[in-house]
Amino acid sequence: MKNIAVFLVLSLVLATTACTPLEKQAYRTVVAAKAFIDAERRIHTECPNDAVAVCGLLKQATSAKDALIDAAELYCSGPAFEAGGACQPPAKGTPASDQAIAKLKAAIAGYNQIAADIKGAK
């Protein structure tokens, strides 16, 4: 339930503020991930049978989407963001910025890889 609330808040904040390309990419990936995972679950009615490979991949995709939301929240965190305001990424060129960017990019890549694995499992 917490992830749904975070997703909704993050969606609203990112949709209504001026975003950097990385923030936009993260937002679009989360939205696409939600739609893709929901569609795949409707197609694969045999899930949650973990003996079926695609079912395990769907669980991984959900976890990867949630990790992406967490990474985006970390990237955007700051007093204004936590109060419902605009994304506040760390100052560019700082170690915190480099780490937050790396984590967000890794989370996006991780989800994209699992989504590709699901598409390949069909």
Q: Output the tens digit of pLDDT for each of the chain's 122 residues.
A: 444 544 444 454 444 444 568 988 999 999 999 999 999 999 988 887 767 788 999 999 999 999 999 999 999 988 888 888 888 999 999 999 999 999 999 999 999 999 999 998 76
Parent domain of 73: 2-120
pTM for the predicted model, two decimal places: 0.78
What is the three-state SS of 11-72? HHHHHHCCCCHHHHHHHHHHHHHHHHHHHHHHHCCCCCCCCCHHHHHHHHHHHHHHHHHHHH
Side-chain-side CA neighbours of 59 within 13 Å: the count stands at 9
What total of structural domains would you count in the chain?
A: 1
| CB-neighbour burial class of residue 86 (10 A; exposed 0-12, middle 13-18, buried 19+) | middle
CA distances for 104 relative to 47, 64, 66, 121, angstroms: 29, 11, 12, 26
